[in-house]
Amino acid sequence: MFEEINVILAKARLQRAREDYFAARLLLDKVFCGAANDRAYFCMYHAANAVCALDDRDLRGSCSVMSVFNHCYVDEACFDSRLFLMIEAAQKSRDDNNYNDCHVETRERTRRNLENAKVFLEAAESYIDRRVKLEYTPHISYDPDDED
């Protein structure tokens, strides 16, 4: 059973992932490929962190989120292993863009990372929705003094 704060945190992180996804789409439309790749990666990062939040894994660093997601959810067959490969590809694009002065990002690679971000986000949303429906019971507090 989940605590309410974990469900709230997971949903907030999913919302942030959605915002990153839509920002990546806008950036790609304007051919800002490096920035679009950055947002596509963070879409996946926030979606993975949302999944971790359900199980009270409040992780901050990118490496720890991806490591925990891989070991606790991919290795345990909660998610297809291809999703982790998608994260790695997006992270490589992001790192190439941020740390290699000679790197020029292609629109095709950016488009592929954006498609992967959408697939990843939808998988995380589906997983969280399914688990919340099965395992979460909202706490309803009843105070008899509040009756009219």
Please state, in angstroms and rounded to a whole number, the distance separating the CA atoms of residues 23 and 12: 17
In this structure, is residue 143 part of a structural domain? no
In this structure, is residue 114 part of a structural domain? yes
pLDDT digits (tens, 9 = 90+) for 62-87: 678 888 999 999 999 999 999 999 99
CATH number of the domain enclosing 15: 1.20.120.330
Residue 103 pLDDT grade (very low, low, confident, very high; cuts 50, 70, 90): confident
Q: Residues 43-54, buried b or exposed e (16+ Cβ, 10 A)?
A: bbbbbbbbbbbb
pTM of the model: 0.87
Please state, in angstroms and rounded to a whole number, the distance separating the CA atoms of residues 62 and 97: 17
Q: What SS3 state is found at 73?
A: helix
Which two three-digit tokens encode residue 133? 């429906």
In this structure, is residue 53 part of a structural domain? yes
In this structure, is residue 129 part of a structural domain? yes
In this structure, is residue 148 part of a structural domain? no
In this structure, is residue 140 part of a structural domain? no
Domain extent for 38: 4-135
In this structure, is residue 147 part of a structural domain? no
Please state the domain count of the chain. Answer: 1
In this structure, is residue 141 part of a structural domain? no
CB 47, CB 91: distance < 8 Å = no
